[in-house]
Structure 1
């Protein structure tokens, strides 16, 4: 009998995260999903852990739940994050503290704990959901704090991919454009669509397909997969 694979997904209660939970279940994975406000699931192979993933005790509880319930961690998708778009001089101390806590702390603690388990297993996969603005800045969307923090979770992919390549653990990133989620009001959609060469915003399914591709591509590690409607190619 095949071993049941297990995916941990942060920011898993809505939008891209909820789409990822559904996709991994369709792939046959058990899932542990986390967000600050996530409720219980009626699926026996989905466990939920509510709380702020930047809190080390929550991160520990998430990975412990995966191990206690299903015995392993095969994939971690670091999807939780915050995006604060402001001119650089308008950022506040609170903006700075929040972005570092959520985007960097929310990656660091849970990834350390997941990778420790993956190293024992001799295999694993970590995917960071970043933003294409890290590499392709746009004066229409000033977002230095996103570049500072999500840029860190993008850069660390190559570092960790090399550090753990010989131990069977892959690290990749999906770099989305602007995705049509409840975070973006309907009246902004036309403007945001125009920021992509293909002339539309991305969908949750677009991002999910990117993560699933990386999941099913065992020779791919240290990769930034752009799901950005051509923004990374130029404009």
Structure 2
């Protein structure tokens, strides 16, 4: 069997970095991307396996970046077998404070980035006769939290959930599987960026009374990448957040 090739966007820190690291450990060829070139270079050095690792810096909201990722994967490794659309931004802001410029940031990076990178990947996957796309959403699309106003990012992530199911329907007959992972609270640098200094303080939102780790997301991504009969699913990886609550 040939070595499979995966592209991971937003791979310099957090969930994306964990996914790239796990797939390298499992023997995959990996193409990593991030907008911050310094962070990307540091991660590239840290991950090692440079015979199977390629880096492509670029803003995923630009359609040219997605195509550059596909071109890099094909030129170095010959195929694009898995795409993980992980790159994204997330932060809280009250609905009445959101203006058009602010909203456009989330739609451009989160939704547009996922949309057009998937489009470039699917063109290549159609030539190959198969492929897998894994999109990163959020449980907050289906389970909003009062006191955490985040209409802009959640609107963009809701679009990603809808896109996931539609692509699965449109390209299932071509043996292209498209799924989503909807994480709950995950211990990653993203928490600090949203103003949460102690992510463990949110453990009570989950039935397990603890938050998740980036490796939990990476392990689910690996399962989905290697499955040949799961498609059109948005899988909640949330410690029971959506299923229920504890009585305070």
Deviation of 1:207 (Å): 1.0
Structure 1 residues 122-131 or 31-40, which shifts more?
31-40
Deviation of 1:143 (Å): 1.6
TM-score (norm 1): 0.95
1:206 maps to 216
8 Å contact 1:134–1:146 — kept in the other structure? no
Counterpart pick for 2:183 among 172, 176, 180:
176
Question: Whole-Å Cα distance in 1 between the matches of residues 99 and 122 of structure 2?
Answer: 34
8 Å contact 1:84–1:95 — kept in the other structure? no
1:17 maps to 16
1:188 maps to 198
8 Å contact 2:185–2:199 — kept in the other structure? no
Counterpart pick for 2:95 among 65, 88, 91:
88
Counterpart pick for 2:173 among 163, 166, 170:
166
Counterpart pick for 2:240 among 218, 226, 230:
230
TM-score (norm 2): 0.90
Q: Matched residue of 1:61: which SS? A: helix
Deviation of 1:95 (Å): 1.8
Q: What is the CA deviation profile of residues 111-154 of structure 1, one whole-angstrom value per residue up to 9, with x for unaligned ones?
A: 11100000110000000010000011111322211221111111
**Structure 2 residue 84 is the aligned partner of structure 1 residue 77:** yes
Q: Name the Cα RMSD after superposition.
A: 1.4
Trace 1:119-138 onto structure 2 (pairs within 5 A).
Answer: 119-138=126-145
> How many residues of Structure 1 are paired with residues of Structure 2 in the alignment?
234
Trace 1:142-153 onto structure 2 (pairs within 5 A).
Answer: 142-153=149-160
Q: What is the CA deviation profile of residues 4-47 of structure 1, one whole-angstrom value per residue up to 9, with x for unaligned ones?
A: 21000000111111101111112221011100121154512100
8 Å contact 1:8–1:76 — kept in the other structure? yes
Q: Structure 1: 5+ residue runs without aligned partners? A: none
1:3 maps to 2
Runs of at least 4 residues off by over 6 Å? none
1:56 maps to 63
Question: Whole-Å Cα distance in 2 between the matches of residues 203 and 209 of structure 1?
Answer: 10
Structure 1 residues 136-145 or 44-53, which shifts more?
136-145
Q: Structure 2: 5+ residue runs without aligned partners? A: none
